[in-house]
Amino acid sequence: MDSVLIGDDGFEELSLKTYAERAYLDYSMYVILDRALPHVSDGLKPVQRRIIYAMSELGLKATAKYKKSARTVGDVIGKFHPHGDSAAYEAMVLMAQDFSYRYPLVDGQGNWGSQDDPKSFAAMRYTESRLTSYANILLGELDQGTTDWVPNFDGTLEEPEVLPAKIPNILLNGASGIAVGMATDIPPHNLKEILGATIKLLDTPRTPIASLCEDLIAPDYPTNAEIITPRNEILSIYESGRGTLKMRAVWEVESGDIIITALPHQVSGSKILEQIAQQMQAKKLPMVIDLRDESDHENPTRLVIVPRSNRINSKELMSHLCATTDLEKSYRVNLNMIGIDGRPAVKSLDQILKEWIKFRIETVRRRLRHRLEQVEARLHLLDGYLVAYLNIDEVIRIIRNEDEPKPVLRKKLKVTEIQAEAILNLRLRNLAKLEEIKIRGEQDDLSAEKDTLTKLLSSKGRIKTLIKKELTLLGKEYGDQRLSKVVDRSESKAFNELDLIASDPITVVVSDRGWIRSAKGHDIDPRTLSFKSGDAFRLSFRGRSDNPVVIIDSTGRTYTFPSHNLPSARGQGEPVTGRINPPSGATFEGLMMGAADTQFLVASDAGYGFVANLSDLQTKNRSGKTVLKLPNSSKVVQPALISQKKDSCVVAVSNEGRMLMFSLSELPELARGKGNKIINIPTARLRNREEWMVGVQIVAPEDILVVFSGKRHLKLKFFDLDRYRGERGRRGLKLPKGLQKVDSIQIERYIELT
């Protein structure tokens, strides 16, 4: 550490580094200890504690008349909390909102905000406030010697260091805040459940957290929404002090409409409606036709969702909305607080309750000790009064005749200075009215109380029993039923975008330059479409609008993107490269569409190929994935659709008119690779591009194969192809003269995909 230097002018000098470090550390500790984190004893941050204490000093108890909030805020910032009035008022507002605090500490009159818009509260000059009866739990023992008092910010007044809370308020109302390098998010809980767990821990200090959670089920937010976090995860949160909770809205079906009756904590109904409306406008929610907000004073939350028809599954719709809107919300839990040692730490449930119990035992002991001192002082005075009564004439004579009666009284009656002072302070009338019976009766009562107090103070067990009795009474007075029910629910799932898309027949067309578009229906001739200057038809495929498009390029890589949002064929489309990122110079050689289990024969013109499921060819990567391994000097051919596997055959044709047919079952099913030999193409001739496989198709018994050669074509039925049947990998037989320079082969009858 840098040594402190004293300059020539006598002032302390620090290096900038030391000053900055010290200043940042001081600020950090100030934020942590005096602003952001609550104390485990009373569960309050300094500003909250000061607001409550200032209100009690103003006499604003639950039975008092309301006073302007500005008056309270003025006292708070003027006497105890020298910060902005708006910040102090906002903290006060939160303590008054029954939708923000599980057990509000401030009773407000006027506009204190609404659940839909908590920030809509009126200015402090318009609102009035007082403390709730619940606040008495924190303040009731304040004047009974139960707390330490510290100077306020300017040293002119004193304020309580902490309030003598009779219950673990830290868990009842919770807290949230951001400090320097740490944060806190303590959820609220139910009073009866907290007291049950506390009493159990008082009886058995080593009670495991799992046993405590039999009483303390879960947090209890000031809303009727459901907590859907599994019980084992909640237990883990209480054990570690960290985790995440999920809440889901409560809804019911009424005359076909979906009625939302409860929202997660701090969720705005108007925001929910806005989120749903955005989906409707984006045409991502076609099953909903109307939204209404029917909330009023009797029904604070009543949001109406009108489905398009009675056939809409309400559970599936709400599952989607919960997954895509704030109807389901996660809440971070971080049980970070200032302990009774004055240090911030994340604590488990049993640590919190044990620390509070320790604090409460000490508080009760201080209260009892304070009362014992009062009793002993009163007994001491009563002893003096009894002496005065038995010597009343002498006392009156001394008071009347002596200039300094106190020393004379002490000498004559053998009383202490305190007793003599008390006797002299009595009016003569009251002195004359002293009665031995009353004095001795009060002495007996106080002596019995003294004995009781002494026994309590001498036994920790008796103090614990007293605390349990007090907690039980408080539970009966302030306890209520749980608001947030804990329910096991299945995970909410959003609709797949494709589920919302109509399954219409479409024809996807790709040009030579890689421009893509989609035409409605299967009855169009893609070659008749108009193309840009210098561009021409390249590929087409008939599918459905809910099918993904899979393209294979000249390098053997496949790419996937949805088909429902392709540009219309009325225009000239858009570049495919706007949706995918193929290698430089790659061209598009094949087009596929269909369901995930649709199969295709993927092949190279070297005469090798394999059967693949469309699902294996798909990828979310814009750069695609390598599927087909190409032999040297070979190219990709358009994959062949397998409409049915039973009795289907593979027909391959070379450019020189050699045709070979064999059973489809002879080819393997692969996800990627080179594949097996389909038709024999000599390597040397392929290398010189003299011969290659010009096309391959899958022919079913009811199909017709069409062979194109220039302007000529030949139609071959399934039984006509028997003469070309052979073993896989053979050279095949020559087609008739005039068809020995083949351009392509096609299946004439199209089998529409389901």
| Nearest of 141, 140, 66, 79 to residue 106 by alpha carbon | 66
163/149 Cα distance (integer angstroms): 10
Angle at 345 between CA 340 and CA 346, to 5 degrees: 120
Q: Which residues contact 155 (CB under 8 A, 6 or more apart)?
A: none
Closest C-alpha among 547, 562, 639 to residue 593? 547
Which residue, among 328, 117, 320, has the nearest Cα to 226 in the 3D structure?
A: 328
What are the residues whose beta carbons fall under 8 Å from the beta carbon of 113, sequence distance 6 or more? 93, 97, 119, 120, 121
Give the Cα separation of 188 and 195 in Å (integer): 13
Q: Please give the backbone phi and psi of residue 234, each rounded to the nearest 5 degrees, phi first.
A: -65, -45
H helices present in 479-625, as ranges: 614-617
Radius of gyration of the chain (CA): 43
Nearest Cα to Cα of residue 698 among 629, 612, 581: 612
Element spanning 408, H or E: helix 405-413
**CA separation for the pair 658, 662 (Å, rounded):** 14
Of 744, 734, 700, residue with least CA distance to 718: 700
Out of 19, 27, 126, 750, the active site residue is 126
Write a three-state SS string for 218-269.
Answer: CCCCCCCCEECCCHHHHHHHHHHCEEEEEEECEEEEECCEEEEEECCCCCCH
CA distance 438 to 436: 6
SS3 category, 287? coil
- Is residue 331 part of the annotated active site? The answer reads no
3-state secondary structure of 733: strand
The b/e string for 10-43 (b: 16+ C-beta within 10 A; e otherwise) is eeeeeeeeeeeeeeeeeeeeebbbebbbbbbbbb
193's enclosing H/E stretch is helix 191-203
H or E segment to which residue 538 belongs: strand 537-544
Residues with catalytic roles: 126
